[in-house]
Each structure stands twice: as C-alpha cells, then as structure tokens.
Amino acid sequence: MKKIVCLLLIFTFGLSGCEKDDICDANTPTTPRLVIEFYDNAAPTVLKPVTNLKVVGVGKDDTDAIIFNEGGTSVTKYLTSASKISIPLKTDGTSTSYKFIFNATSTSPNTDVLTFNYTTQNVYVSRACGFKTTFTLNPRDNTANSGLIKTDPAADGIWMLNTNVVTSNIELENETHLKVYF
C-alpha cells in the first residue's frame, strides 16, 4: 500500500511541474511598423493614393524592396497604389532611411529619401512572445517633423511637399505616425 501511495505522490508531483505549451497568440502586439498616410496637398484632409509607390531601404538593392503584394510578380509585388502603408524600422539601430519612389514603373520616377532618427526600448510582452521593440522619434529641432529628415538624392524634385509627424511614440500599428502631403 505504501508503494502505491508513494507512486501516486511521485506521479502527482511530476504532473505539477508540467506546463502548457507557450504559444504567442497571433493577435498579440509585437514590434510595430511605422504607419504612413498620404494626403492631397491641395486638400489636406483628403487621403490620396500614391501611384506605383516603391519603398527601398537606402543601400539596398531594388529587388530587396518592401513587399506590398505577396502574390504579385517580380515587379508588382514591390508596388502599391495605396494611401496608407506600414514600414519597419531597424530594431538594432537608431536610424532607418528609405527611398520612396513615386511612379516607380515610369521612365522618369521621382525619388525622395526619408530618414527616421529614434531611440528604442525593449518591452516585455510575455514568456511566449518575448520582447517587442518600441520607438520614439528623436527631436531634431522644434518643428513638427522631429526625428525626420527628408532629402532628394536624385535631384528630380521633391514629390513629398510636406510631412507631419502625428505621434513620435511608435508603440502600436493601429494609429497613424506620419502624414505625407503631395
């Protein structure tokens, strides 16, 4: 009888050490991407789709651009004509630069570069999901575009006429962080 009780106790203690599998729920917020909305410069409250927009990291090859259409061809998967996009920022640095190519499929595309300067913070999510990184755009000056530098490397004329940082804290993807007027 003592052997059976001992065996039951060992079995019970053995089960108490087991834990359910840790799986990160797909709905759990992870490292957010920067959300950009495009507006008509003539009517600043009207969203405006960008014709054949291609976004490529500075120093990256054009075939390493951000994929907007998973099922697209080798050309169209990198293009979007949306009025709202989401792009990732580097989690292992304090600056990310992207080329925004307007009308990328034309014979005379227009390229502007946006550089985002920021600080990062790792935030614990859960044991299953680990950490996520949040970003805070660095104040560059006292303007509304703190943490953002815009350049025209191709000297083809700036197509992004105005930019406005809506929120400098990038913690979620369900809000707009940057508005671009063109």
Asked if 24 contacts 128 with a C-beta cutoff of 8 angstroms, the reply is yes
Q: H helices within 55-177, ranges in order? A: none
Query: By residue range, what is the domain housing residue 74?
Result: 20-181
Token pair for 18: 């087991």
Residue 79: its pLDDT value, please?
A: 97
- Please give the mean pLDDT across all residues of the chain: 87
Cα–Cα nearest to 37, from 26, 24, 46: 46
Residue 90: its pLDDT value, please?
A: 96
Percent of the chain's residues with pLDDT above 70 = 84
Residue 3: its pLDDT value, please?
A: 57
Q: By mean pLDDT, which of 21-30, 88-97, 111-120, 173-182 is the weakest?
A: 21-30
- Tens digits of per-residue pLDDT, 61-73? 888 899 999 988 8
**What is the domain count for the chain?**
1
Asked if residue 1 belongs to a domain, the reply is no
Asked if residue 116 belongs to a domain, the reply is yes
Residue 59's CB is within 10 A of a number of other CB atoms, namely 8
pLDDT band with cut points at 50, 70 and 90 for residue 145 = low
Asked if residue 110 belongs to a domain, the reply is yes
Residue 57 phi/psi, 5-degree rounding, is -65, 140
149 vs 6, which has greater pLDDT? 149
Asked if residue 106 belongs to a domain, the reply is yes
What predicted TM-score, i.e. pTM, was given to this entire model? 0.82
d(CA 164, CA 153): 21
Asked if residue 31 belongs to a domain, the reply is yes
Residue 142: its pLDDT value, please?
A: 46
Asked if residue 13 belongs to a domain, the reply is no
Asked if 135 contacts 118 with a C-beta cutoff of 8 angstroms, the reply is yes
Asked if residue 98 belongs to a domain, the reply is yes
